[in-house]
Structure 1
Amino acid sequence: MDLHGLVEQVVSGLGFELVDFDTSPKSRLLRVFIDIERGITVDDCAAVSNQLTRVFEVENVDYDRLEVSSPGLDRPLKKPADFERFAGETIQLRTHLPINDGNQRNFSGVLKGFKDGKVLLALAQGDIEIPFEEVEKARLVPQF
């Protein structure tokens, strides 16, 4: 059974986006991060948690604890659609290997979007295009 696929099906069926899904085999913990354009409420988390609990019971998913929450203000960007949706926002991005003349892995700048398989980022020293497959981790930077 594909647990990630099952969780994604339940979450999207309720009208939410699955941002991230994390399991901890040692503590048998399932962590689910959901989002929606209007923002996540406690009631949203409870609704998803209740539905997942029922589905897990039917599908005989063995776990000890389930946590459902919003991804937070520093939301991770995981899919190409995330890089399109959050264009104009400030992000921090880390690549798998150094790029940009071979010496830089960490970047911080304004996300300009996603085009032709590349993340477009405006840095202080100019614009850069980073191939999506080179992105190890990317997060929004909250602006207060």
Structure 2
Amino acid sequence: MSKKIISLTEELVQPIVEDLNLELVEVEFVKEGKNYFLRVYVDKEGGVDIEDCGKVSEQLSEKLDEVDPIEQAYFLEVSSPGVERRLKKRSDFERFVGSHIYVKTYEPINHEKEFYGDLTSFEDDLITLMVKEKTREKEVQIPFDKVAKANIAVTF
């Protein structure tokens, strides 16, 4: 049910974000406590502001009212993906080469399943990270299809 709602929402919101020169990052439909949330994350070069989110929310809300795909009551939230933006698509990894990221894999690579490092390249579906191991750095290559979760990692 939730996948169907996500898919339909992506279909409805894609033309809206394109018209506003925004990027659709992710759509999620989740239950938290007794409430349901339909969350739409959008972005653009330099980041989105409250006005961008408001325009998407207003236009998407009208489309959702027309189609009415969600039986239960829910809250629609449109926002920026934040500083720890998720990386899901191949284009995300290409775009954020040079960034410090976190990657969790489905299965161990070199006996590890979690990596923090600088994304040095993304070529041929291979993520290359420069990770620190104690006092030295080493290169780790992770196949794209082994990634369970990845996001920008904030460093202090």
- Count how many residue pairs are aligned between Structure 1 and Structure 2: 142
2:80 to 67, 70, 74: 70
* Residue number in structure 2 paired with 1:136: 148
* Residue number in structure 1 paired with 2:104: 94
2:21 to 11, 15, 32: 15
For residues 37-63 of structure 1, what are the alpha-carbon distances to aligned partners after superposition, in whole Å with 9 as ceiling and x for unaligned?
121101011011001011112222335
* Residue number in structure 2 paired with 1:126: 138
Q: 1:133 to 1:9 in 2, by over 3 A?
A: farther
1:81 to 91, 95, 100: 91
Q: 1:37 to 1:110 in 2, by over 3 A?
A: same
Q: TM-score, normalised by structure 1?
A: 0.89
- Tell me if structure 2 keeps the 8 A contact 1:86–1:113: no
Give distance in 2, aligned partners of 1:131 and 1:20. Answer: 22
Unpaired segments ≥5 residues, structure 2: none
- Tell me if structure 1 keeps the 8 A contact 2:12–2:60: no
For residues 18-71 of structure 1, what are the alpha-carbon distances to aligned partners after superposition, in whole Å with 9 as ceiling and x for unaligned?
111100256332001111012110101101100101111222233521000101
Unpaired segments ≥5 residues, structure 1: none
Amino acid in the other structure paired with 2:23:
E
Higher deviation after alignment, 19-28 or 127-136: 19-28
